[in-house]
Amino acid sequence: MSARIFGSAIRRREDPRLLTGTGTFTDDISLPGMVYAAMLRSPHAHARIKRIDTTRAKGAPGVLAVYTGADTAGVLKPMPCAWLIPNSNLKVAEYPVMARDVVHYVGDVVAVVVAKTAYQAFDAVEQIDVDYTPLDAVVDPQKAAASGAVQLHESAPGNVAFHWTVAGGDTDAAFKKADVVVKDRIVQQRLIPTAMETRSAVAQWTAASGELTLWNTTQNPHIVRFIGSIVTGVPEDKLRVVAPEVGGGFGSKIPQYPGEFLTAFAAMKLNRPVKWTETRSENFVATTHGRDHVQEVEMAGTRDGRITGVRATVWAGMGAYLSAAAPGIPTILHGLMLSGPYQIPAVHEDVYGMYTNTTPVEAYRGAGRPEATYMLERLIDRFAQAVGKDPVEVRRTNLIPPFTNGHTVSTGLAYDSGNYSAALDKALSHIGYPALRKEQETLRKQGRYLGIGVTTYVEICGLGPSQVAGAVGFQGGLWESAIVRFHPSGKVNVFIGTKPHGQGEETTFAQIVSDELGVDVNDIKVVHGDTDKTPMGWGTYGSRTTAVGGAALVLAVRKIKDKAKALAAHLLEASVEDMDYADGRFFVKGAPAKAKTIQDIALMANVAWNMPAGMEAGLEASSFYDPPNFVYPFGAHVAVVEVEPDTGRVVLKRYVAVDDCGPQINPMIVEGQVHGGVVQGIGQALWEEAVYDDRGQLLTGSLMDYAIPRADLLPDIEVLSTVTPSPHHPLGVKGIGEAGTIASTCTVYNAVIDALRPLGVNEVPMPLKPERVWHAVRAARKGA
């Protein structure tokens, strides 16, 4: 028997087309008669529209049409919010596809031009005259809550979109009795996801049949169809949504946007195909942002290092409107993870979702969990310092002991399985923690500042049980489905409802099928991203594609295996109970020489010449999998940095990631996810920051100003793992897409603060740019 395909680091099956430029992304699509749309976006963060004059634009060369909010009013419905968190006094302000009276952020769509060429469309956008009366703007979520702050929406007094609370245990008593209380005020700066592919849409309308096809850059085409039918009025059966190759998303391609539906609107009005593609500058203001929390947090504990309570108030910036999933992110995906991998008996958090005159905030890789992990890991380092203990020792004291089948924490969640101390041990032993601390001491004597940051984390993903989704206000299900179809030749098509866009499921899902049925992975094609071809599914986000969609797939494959076994028994004139299976062959127990291969069975099932009584023809199965619980990957990360106090420069010297996502289908792909995830989190710690001025102008509106990580700024990430299966998943697997990002920001931050502590520096606002570090060191030196 050859090496098991499950667990093999095989090359990706999607790569040859991507390597040769033959994969088709949305902007690569051209249709006969296609014309081009461009958007005029508000240059003001908050303004009243006095007048829009499109006369000049309409007369510009090549222009076919110019539309404003007056044209779409009553035709396109407002953008719906799809996560209506309960018990939070949620106020969903109307989110129109085009602003008519008031613009609420720089980037709000004011008009759309359609022209014969893209250049003509951009030229004509410049010819639209809009008179605005600028209004005051508010960009900081905490300031938006202050009395006297400018108000965005009449329907949301005080700019409060919602106020949500989570509590477990007696926090007041914990803080009253505490030996030690440490506090922090954390600004989780706003980030810009910056997928390399900007958003794009191509819409084709067939008036005769009333059918609309919408190609677009989405992580969840079935949700786009669902929401798209509501916004455009095209019935779901006549609306085909295709997500072709998608060039990264990181959460920003979960929500639906006005741009896609305005493209569809134009195609329907003009009765010809229309394409719209964002420029990068447009992407910076028009595609959702992430994070943007102000957190006031405190931790209570005993002198011997035991944590007894955590309390937090969070002001979460939502931007000008509630993006589709936005309210669930700082609440369900954040507040419920307040105790992390630690035994903390009492927790309490208030979250205020705030409207501000900024681009709407959505999920960004990790979505809520990085903000929770960061909060907790910062507090623990402060607490360790306060009680005079090594931060690793404090973590050890408080970690939940190993468990294999359920552990309920004070927020009410039941984690599935975990062995947190094993991950921590592995990370520390790999990096040589005691020796590193000694080296740190030695270097300090030489005036060099080495810092070590250690994080232990757990995260919630594999979203999720649909009943829970309903209970927390998610306006959809969170199950997944798969169809497995054997062709007469024994080749296989797999159709899935999720939408891989870089995560490699065309390979890992083929490995799942191959592992179960012995079919060569090269004989299995995974089809995704087209609502006319694939079964319903809720999409790729929240590290759920393998955790939920992979489970649906394996259950469908097992149905096929049962049928194949019954058919083989019939062909071998044996009873099913006497049948055995190994390596793609079905045979009577003890007689492996006389076997029917899965390919034999596929042929017979398809030609159906000799089927058992009552058995249907064909070899195909579908499955719907609704997970009984979330999955909870975890791990331990360690960063080593050196900080130059005289320049403020931070050099990341080593980074060790130990992650546990259960059994790994393809370790090469897991490692790639960890690399990318860790680096995105490092980006937040060291470089990335969306900066608005007080008037709501985005100052970091290009790749010249918004610093995403570059190759020359990073060390190799040392990737290790432990394996703790999920007890409820049919393959035991958990998600790995976001783990790196969730753990790495606080790990690097804590390392830098650890380096600077002898200089009297205990905090520096993120990102830790040299200038900020230098100022913090200088201020501390002056103070001393």
Partner 1 sequence: MVVSVSVSVNGQPYKDQLEPRLLLVHYLRDHLGLTGTKIACDTSQCGACTVLLDGVAVKSCTCLAVQADGAAVTTIEGLAAPGTLHPIQEAFWNKHGLQCGFCTPGMVFATHELLRQNPNPSADAIRHGLEGNLCRCTGYQNIVRAVQTAAAAMGGRR
Residues interacting with partner 1, by CB under 8 A? 11-12, 14-16, 18-25, 27-28, 30, 118-119, 194-198, 245-248, 250, 279-281, 501-504, 668-669, 671-672, 675-680, 702-704, 708-712, 714, 716-717
For the bound state, the minimum distance from the C-beta of residue 280 to partner 1, rounded and expressed in Å, comes to 4
The CB-of-701 to partner 1 minimum distance in angstroms stands at 10
Work out the burial of residue 184: count CB atoms within 10 Å of its CB; fewer than 13 is exposed, 13-18 middle, 19 or more buried. middle
Comparison of 168 and 244: residue with beta carbon closer to partner 1: 244
Closest distance of CB 457 from partner 1, Å: 18
Q: How far is the CB of 283 from partner 1 (least distance, A)?
A: 9
Nearest to partner 1 of 281, 466 (CB atom): 281
Instruction: Take residue 417 and report the two structure tokens written for it.
Output: 């399985």
DSSP state of 346: E
Q: Is the peptide bond before 767 cis (omega within 30 degrees of 0)?
A: yes
Half-sphere exposure of 109 (CA within 13 A, CB side): 29
Q: What is the closest distance, in whole angstroms, from the C-beta atom of residue 29 to partner 1 in the complex? A: 9
- Cβ distance to partner 1 smaller for residue 25 or 625: 25
CA distance 279 to 121: 13
Residue with tokens 């009297």: 760
- 250 or 342: whose CB is closer to partner 1? 250
Q: Which two tokens stand for residue 166?
A: 């989570």
* CB 276 within 8 Å of CB 262: yes
Beta strands in 405-460 (DSSP E): 407-408, 414-415, 449-458
Shortest Å, Cβ 506 to partner 1? 12
Cβ atoms within 10 Å of 328's Cβ, excluding its own: 25
Q: Are 113 and 128 in contact (CB under 8 A)?
A: yes
Q: How far is the CB of 278 from partner 1 (least distance, A)?
A: 10
Q: How far is the CB of 18 from partner 1 (least distance, A)?
A: 3
Conformation bin of residue 158: beta by default, left when phi > 0, alpha when psi is -120 to 50: left
CB of 182 to partner 1, least distance (A): 33
Q: Quick one: tokens of 737?
A: 């897409």
Question: Which structure tokens are listed for 597?
Answer: 């291969």
Closer by beta carbon to partner 1, 635 or else 725: 635
Closer residue to partner 1, CB minimum distance, 115 or 619 = 115
Q: Of 194 and 356, which CB lies nearer to partner 1 in the complex structure?
A: 194
Q: Which helix (H) or strand (E) holds 107?
A: none
Q: How far apart are CA 564 and CA 615, in angstroms?
A: 11
Q: Taking the CB of residue 754, how many other CB atoms lie within 10 A of it? A: 23
Judged by beta carbon, residue 715 or residue 758, the one nearer partner 1 is 715
Beta-ladder partners of 658: 636, 720
Distance CA 126, CA 142 (A): 36
| CB-neighbour burial class of residue 11 (10 A; exposed 0-12, middle 13-18, buried 19+) | exposed
Shortest spacing between CB 607 and partner 1, in angstroms: 33
Contact 339, 347 (CB under 8 A): yes
β-bridge mates for residue 41, sequence order: 109
DSSP-based helix, strand, coil % in the chain, nearest 5: 30, 25, 40
Residue 372 Cβ vs partner 1, minimum distance, rounded to whole Å: 23
CA atoms within 13 A on the CB side of 208: 0
Say whether 460 sits in a helix, a strand or coil. coil
Single out the residue of 754, 745, 752, 770 nearest to residue 373, CA to CA.
745
- Closest separation between CB of residue 12 and partner 1, Å? 7
The least CB distance from residue 356 to partner 1, in Å, is 25
> CB 247 → partner 1: shortest distance, Å?
3
Nearest to 73 by CA among 95, 51, 97: 97
Preceding amide of 539 cis, omega within 30: no
Contact present, 544 and 464 (Cβ < 8 Å): yes
Q: Which is closer to partner 1, CB of 159 or CB of 747?
A: 747
Comparing CB distances to partner 1, the nearer of 554 and 665 is 665
How far is CA 336 from each of CA 165, 293, 328, 349, 765, rounded to the nearest angstrom? 10, 16, 11, 9, 25
Q: Residue 317: enclosing H or E segment and its boundaries?
A: strand 307-319
Q: How many Å is the maximal CA-CA distance in the chain?
A: 90
Give 597 or 680: the residue with its C-beta nearer to partner 1: 680
Question: Could you tell me the smallest distance in angstroms from the CB atom of residue 665 to partner 1?
Answer: 14
Nearest distance in Å: CB 657, partner 1:
11
CB nearer to partner 1: pick between 16 and 86: 16
DSSP 247-295: ---TTTTSS--HHHHHHHHHHHHHTS-EEEE--HHHHHHHS-BEEEEEE
Query: Is residue 531 helix, strand or coil?
Result: coil
User: In the complex with partner 1, which residue's Cβ is closer, 584 or 701?
Assistant: 701
For partner 1, the closer of residues 515 and 688 by Cβ is 688
* C-beta closer to partner 1: residue 13 or 46: 13
The smaller minimum CB distance to partner 1, of residues 165 and 702, is found at 702
CB of 267 to partner 1, least distance (A): 19
Closest CA to 26 of 730, 501, 459, 681: 501
CB nearer partner 1, residue 247 or residue 535: 247
